[in-house]
Amino acid sequence: MSKPEVITYADIPKAVNILGQIFKVELRDLPSSEYGETRGYEKLIIINRKQPKSTALHTLFHECIHAALHVSGHTSTLKHNQEESLVMMLEAAFGDCIDITVLGDMK
């Protein structure tokens, strides 16, 4: 049985600029049911390192949308499920409009 792929900082940027705010990106071991997390007040995006690179890049895009909502002040006006629904809609609407692999080149 082969060992699962583990992503590295060669695959994911260490930081991203979200509306002029720098968010640090950390790779961590999270439960398999969790892909990522955004901690807006800490300006931190956490990506589960135990996922394939392509999934991790989509997770980073998803978490960047959460970060943008935080920076713009919209997270304080939304309940968690409303925010997640909005993020998923924006991810679906614009995910195909950009080359998601470019996120891995933002070093």
pLDDT of residue 81: 94
Length of the chain: 107
Pairing relationship of beta strands 21-28 and 44-48 according to DSSP bridges:
parallel
Report yes or no: 52 and 65 within 8 Å, Cβ to Cβ: no
pLDDT of residue 71: 96
| Residue closest to 106 by CA, chosen among 52, 67, 64, 74 | 64
Q: What is the percent of the chain where pLDDT is above 90?
A: 59
Q: Write down the pTM of the prediction.
A: 0.86
What is the chain's alpha carbon radius of gyration, rounded to the nearest angstrom? Answer: 14
pLDDT of residue 105: 55
pLDDT of residue 9: 73
Q: Which phi and psi (to 5°) does residue 50 adopt?
A: -95, 45
pLDDT tens profile 8-25: 777 788 999 999 999 999
Q: pLDDT under 70 in the chain at which residues?
A: 1-6, 99-107
Query: Following CA atoms 83, 89, 95, 97 in sequence, which dihedral angle do they give, to the nearest 10 degrees?
Result: -120
pLDDT of residue 94: 87
